[in-house]
Amino acid sequence: MADETPEQTRFVTRRGGVTNRWRGISLWYRSKWRDSRLFRLANYLLGAVLLGWFVLWLTVARTLPSADKLLTYQPPLPTMVRGNDGEIVSSYARERRVQLRFVDFPEPMINAFLAAEDKTFWSHGGIDYLGFAGAVVDYATKFGSDERARGGSTITQQVAKNILIGDEYSITRKLKEMILARRIEGVLTKQQILELYLNEIPLGRQSFGVQAAARAYFDKDVGDLALHETAFLAILPKAPERYGRAKFEGMAITRRNYVLDQMVKSGWATQAEAAAAGAMPLGLRPRRAESYTADAGYFLEEVRRRLIGKFGEKAEDGPNSIYAGGLWVRTSLDTQLQTAAQKSLRAALLRYGGGRAWHGPIARIDLDDGNWQTQLITSNISINYQNWRVGVLLSRDGNSGKIGFSDGKTAGLIGVPDNMKPGDITAVAPVNSGTFAVRTIPEVSGGMVVQDPQSGRVLAMQGGFDARLGSFNRATQANRQPGSTIKPFVYATALDNGMTPASMVVDGTFCVYQGAALGEKCFRNFGNEGGSGSHTMRWGLEQSRNLMTVRVANDVGMDKVVRTIKAAGVGDYQPYLSMALGAGDTTVLKMVNAYAALANQGRQHDPSMIDYVQDRNGKVIWRADNRRCDGCSMAQWDGKPMPRLNVTGKQVIDPRTAYQVVHMLEGVVVRGTAITLRDLGLPLFGKTGTTSGPTNVWFVGGSPDIIAGVYIGYDQPRSLGGYAQGGRIAAPVFKQLVQETRSRWKDIPFRVPEGVRMVKVDRVSGKRVFGGTPENDVAKASIIWEAFKPDTEPKRTAQQGEVSAKQAVIDALRKARAARGIANPTTEEAPVEESFIEEQGGIY
């Protein structure tokens, strides 16, 4: 065998030394194990501990979420909604949540919660072992009973429970809390942990966090709370739904005063401060819903539906869901117009329904369950009109009874209708202290929309008497026959196919053969009126003559008419003549948007209610107007032409045709079926509508800047009565809207587009007029300005006096030419000059 090298010798020596060392340890361990019982016991205990830790890791710790998640934790936050002026008008929330920074929490607030929940918070590492030992003892004494043991959890453990693992009542959850608490303390500072805790702790009344709770219980911000109010909030983590109830007021005061005593012991309050606070009553405000300046339930519900379609509803649907994403939504809601629309529609419904008998309950609940208050609360039915309230009839005795409200209070009720039964939910109003009387919510209903025609932005929407009575939005969801409000699009089709506002149309019997099965169908004017001879197309629209309308539709072709109606977004109908009189279903929103196209010279925008959406960090994640404006943000003007945004919208009607229709519809206001609006003294256009029955009454119209539409009718269509007409019931709703917001309506006429000639015509005959001037009283004027496309003006039929006047003008022109040395035209040329004057119409 070869000699070993020095390196090999050192390796063998080292290996032998290690082996001998381990052999010695082994011999020592076996000797101690054999000779010492205490040594064996210690080993058993160590093995048990190691095994326990392994089992704990395998079953609990291995699956726990990482505490690092808290560094980027995004709490679920409600969506806040703003109006077009930037003011908050509502929120979409199932929980009350408001996030504050640590520096925003008042020191007494922090100290009160530490006194109540975790006095050693600033010194422990996540676990209070003495408190935990007490909790173990408490758990053992209550084991097997239905009573829940006290928690013994530190604030750090509660953060782990509330955010990471949930509130399961088990030993396993407590172990998870402890492990996570240690991890959290290694990741977050004490201030960060307290910030999470005070923002996330559930405190009852659907509030999470101290700011939300301060609003829920005291209608204050945390910085405005008195010491006794702060101490009350600090007791809520133990039993939030108990201490906030009136019947547990005594228990709440006792617990609150205990917290005040603990604050004194910890040096966080003086004895005098605690004594003064302890003498105060709780001072809780009744439960109430969040109140905002705008009562726009129908509008906001439509916005909510659209947001859910874009971003989802719950946190699982994505980071920007409306109930967890903390979105900021800027809408087109105009609170002034919204309030006016609501008042106007309600007033009309009450006028029509006034004096009518109670027609039945809003809803019913089962009184046999004994929880009528809970049922009334969960029904989510209420009302916001004058001093009316919604309650449930608990009992009755003759025409009086007892009414119960959602706050648990009861009162006497008088004027109970014969057909009202206990369990019926109805509207009531106070008549004196402790006594209410039944009020009738109108059975008839309707919808109203106000829109900006130049952008398509919906400014106001009212879908019934009160959104709190039901979410069905009659402005967007009720499909109704529009009646005569469809006629402007019939006449627009005629104007596109060679007719003019001055075209003569026969107002006479019109019948069509519908086949062997249906026979002959004869149309009639409203009220079964017969014809009245030939009139201008303008007159037919102003007076809403059915016979003239179907004759025009038949002459131009119903296939063309329904194409125009479809292009305007009203509806996709079959080419039946009855569609020309509004037999097809549509909605108020669609009709208003179609009229907006008329007012905007035929250019239509999609009706929008959301301007843009920001995420919780303020980043815009969606906007309605995505146009680029290159150069708009230049720091300094570069001397080039000013940047311009591209034109939006879609041209759905010829601009000239749209103006001709608007010009005729102005006559509806000053001389026609909407004459009730004339005394407003504004440049307005519009059209009334009344469907067969009559089951629906309509008005749609407005100014160059604001378009509004309204219908009124029963949800289950039935006759409104023979006197019901759009001009009598619907148009006054629009009138009140204008009167309530008079400063918003400008005295600026509709702009005439290029390619339209304004020509004087005789209003009755439609013939062109050479002499005369339109009168200031447009309602009675025999001569009016009429809008024509080039080369469609009526040829003038001159009377003898007019011929003489024309000849005088020609002679004067000839003398002027001669004075300037210009030869007069020959006899053959003279007719050319006369023809020029004739074609130009002389003085329009």
What sign does the CA torsion over 764, 766, 771, 776 have?
A: positive
Task: Give the pair of three-digit tokens for residue 272.
Answer: 């005098």
Separation CA 373–CA 377 (nearest Å): 6
In the three-class reduction of DSSP (H, G, I as helix; E, B as strand; rest coil), residue 491 is classed as helix
Separation CA 309–CA 305 (nearest Å): 6
Task: Give the pair of three-digit tokens for residue 214.
Answer: 């301060």
Half-sphere exposure of 781 (CA within 13 A, CB side): 20
Separation CA 96–CA 199 (nearest Å): 11
In the three-class reduction of DSSP (H, G, I as helix; E, B as strand; rest coil), residue 703 is classed as coil
Degrees, nearest 5: CA angle 606-609-610: 110
Separation CA 166–CA 316 (nearest Å): 17
Task: Give the pair of three-digit tokens for residue 168.
Answer: 């399961």
Strand 424-432 relative to strand 400-404, pairing = unpaired
First vs last C-alpha separation in the chain: 134
In the three-class reduction of DSSP (H, G, I as helix; E, B as strand; rest coil), residue 375 is classed as helix
Residue 430 C-alpha from the chain's centroid: 31
Question: What is the full DSSP assignment across 522-544?
Answer: EE--GGG----EEEEHHHHHHTT
Residues 6+ apart with CB under 8 A from 705: 452, 453, 454, 745, 746, 748
In the three-class reduction of DSSP (H, G, I as helix; E, B as strand; rest coil), residue 413 is classed as strand
Question: What is the full DSSP assignment across 234-258?
Answer: HHTTT-HHHHTSGGGHHHHHHHHHH
Strand 435-439 relative to strand 445-451, pairing = unpaired
Whether 429 and 386 have beta carbons less than 8 Å apart is answered as yes
Task: Give the pair of three-digit tokens for residue 521.
Answer: 């169908």
Sheet strands (E) in 47-153: 79-82, 88-92, 96-97
Peptide bond into 694 cis (omega under 30): yes
Degrees, nearest 5: CA angle 321-325-326: 135
Separation CA 704–CA 751 (nearest Å): 8
Question: In this structure, which amino acid lies at residue 142?
Answer: K
Separation CA 771–CA 320 (nearest Å): 68
Separation CA 341–CA 180 (nearest Å): 55
Q: How far is CA 616 from CA 97, 205, 312, in A?
A: 13, 24, 15
Q: Which residues are catalytic?
A: 117, 484
Separation CA 605–CA 700 (nearest Å): 17
Whether 588 and 461 have beta carbons less than 8 Å apart is answered as no
User: What's the chain's Rg over C-alpha atoms?
Assistant: 40
Crossing angle for the helix pair 37-59 and 6-35, to the nearest 10 degrees: 100
Task: Give the pair of three-digit tokens for residue 730.
Answer: 């619907």
Residues 6+ apart with CB under 8 A from 228: 256, 260, 277, 278, 280, 283
Q: How far is CA 229 from CA 214, 226, 267, in A?
A: 8, 5, 19
Residues 6+ apart with CB under 8 A from 699: 485, 674, 686, 687, 688, 689, 709, 710, 726, 727, 730, 731, 733, 734
